[in-house]
Amino acid sequence: MADSTLAVERRGDVVWCALDRPPLNLFEPGLIAALRATFEALARDAAIRAAVVTGRGRAFTAGMDVRVLHGLDAASARALITDLCAAIDAVHRAPFPVLAAVHGACLGAGFELALACDLRVAAADASFGLPEVRVGVPSVIQAALLPPLIGPGRAAEMLLLGTPVDATRALGWGLVNRVVEPGALAAAVDETLAMLLACAPGAVRAQKALMIRWRETDLPSAVRAGIDAFAACYAGDEPREGAAAFLEKRAPRFGAR
């Protein structure tokens, strides 16, 4: 899964994926293809419990390389955005939680990538934005999540004006889960992962699948899917171990033999 534009490292049950086109990690066809291939491969590995997406250099990613956009026509633009959609969708639909560790610029396609992640931890120097209208195109793909996430008025401000949002405002708007000083970002990610890894692996995967289902279906169907998922968990040992640990006032031993 290694690629010159994406550095992939497995640390136990967690995979770290670092966009590796410093200083700004701009998207171009090679990085788009690497991101998609990596997450499609990771999705087939049932042992992975989480992934972290981050960027090397001074930014998470400042978005699409405008030099790529400059030479497009309608047909090649459709092909490019279709490929980008597939790559970001592979992150969004990963069967395990994906955490974005954001520092510096997180713009355009990079912001859409962050939105595709389940959890976002940001450094205080992070800046979020969708400046596409300033270069002649609309924001698309995961930008569709913005109105239900932060409200239509705030979404309109970002989408129609290209207004950047700093980390403090992003936290207040619910765009990120946590903001820390730049030097504390790695520790904050590790703390979040520790909490995640303390949970039941099967239950976390079931919850992730439900979260995707909830975004794409009506409320009655979403509720029925939840009932099915709850019952299915009892085909394994996690619910009994979790309940026993609670009653015995000890830490659960999920997956212990």
Check which CATH number belongs to the domain holding 112 and give it. Answer: 3.90.226.10
Instruction: Tell me what the mean pLDDT of segment 54-64 comes to.
Output: 96
Q: Does 132 qualify as catalytic in the annotation?
A: yes
Contact between 154 and 88 (Cβ < 8 Å): no
State the Cα torsion 188-189-190-193 to the nearest 10°. 120
Q: Is 251 helix (H, G, I), strand (E, B) or coil?
A: coil
14 with 65, same domain: the answer is yes
Residue 256 confidence class, pLDDT cut points 50, 70, 90: low
Instruction: Spot the catalytic one: 132, 157, 191, 238.
Output: 132
Residue 102 lies in a domain: yes
- Residue 121's CB is within 10 A of a number of other CB atoms, namely 26
Instruction: Spot the catalytic one: 9, 40, 112, 216.
Output: 112
42 with 168, same domain: the answer is yes
219 with 193, same domain: the answer is no
Residue 57 lies in a domain: yes
pTM, two decimal places: 0.93
164 with 231, same domain: the answer is no
236 with 111, same domain: the answer is no
Residue 1 lies in a domain: no
189 with 205, same domain: the answer is no
228 with 110, same domain: the answer is no
Beta bridge partners of 53: 17, 100
Mean pLDDT (the chain, rounded): 95
126 with 234, same domain: the answer is no
111 with 181, same domain: the answer is yes
Residue 17 lies in a domain: yes
Domain range enclosing 144: 6-197
Residue 252 lies in a domain: no
List C-alpha distances in Å: 73 to 35, 40, 68, 69, 70.
Answer: 24, 29, 11, 9, 9
The pLDDT value recorded for residue 3 is: 63
192 with 231, same domain: the answer is no
pLDDT digits (tens, 9 = 90+) for 101-116: 999 999 999 999 999 9
Rounded Cα distance, 219 and 227, in Å:
13
Residue 257 lies in a domain: no
185 with 98, same domain: the answer is yes
Q: Does 238 qualify as catalytic in the annotation?
A: no
Residue 98 lies in a domain: yes
pLDDT digits (tens, 9 = 90+) for 4-49: 899 999 999 999 999 999 999 999 999 999 999 999 999 999 999 9
Q: Is 125 exposed, middle or buried (0-12, 13-18, 19+ CB in 10 A)?
A: middle
Rg (CA), the chain: 19
167 with 57, same domain: the answer is yes
Rounded Cα distance, 4 and 105, in Å:
21
Residue 255 confidence class, pLDDT cut points 50, 70, 90: confident
Residue 97 lies in a domain: yes
Q: How many domains does the chain have?
A: 2
pLDDT digits (tens, 9 = 90+) for 166-213: 999 999 999 999 999 999 999 999 999 999 999 999 999 999 999 999
Which helix (H) or strand (E) covers residue 246, if one does?
A: helix 238-247
